[in-house]
A = this chain, B = another copy of it.
Amino acid sequence: MESFQNTQPIYLQIMNLIKKQIATSVFNPGQLLESVRELAMIYQVNPNTVQRALSELEREGLVRSERTIGRYITKDEAAIAQLHQNLVDEATSTYINNVLELHLSPEEILTTVKSRLKGDNT
């Protein structure tokens, strides 16, 4: 059913999903992406919504569109590595800011992360 939250625009969620897939080589550099209509089927959303997500990703240089052929993932592997690093950094900053605001000490933060990694806490 590949559904989405309702608290954030779907096109942003799709952007983040595809970014993750590029960063983790689910999509390889230079690979031809599924078509707008196919992705719309997969995600169970309107083609216009997919189109919007992909347009934004193109604006960020992660994909490029070939007018009547389809969309390709960028071949720039350095950019992809950078993307991966940015996603990690952003997630980490957000998390640490969050728990610091909750008044956890650095030691408590580490303990919390460790216990979550050990236990099978889904």
Contact = CB atoms under 8 A, between A and B. Distances in A.
Interface of A: 7-9, 12, 20, 23-24, 84, 87-88, 91-96, 98-99, 101-104, 106, 109-110, 112-114, 116-117, 121-122
Contacts of A87: 98, 102
A121 B99 contact: no
A101 B84 CA distance: 11
A91 B84 contact: no
Nearest to A87: B102
Contact of A99 (B9, B91, B106): B91
Given A7-B9, A8-B7, A24-B103, A117 B109 contact: yes
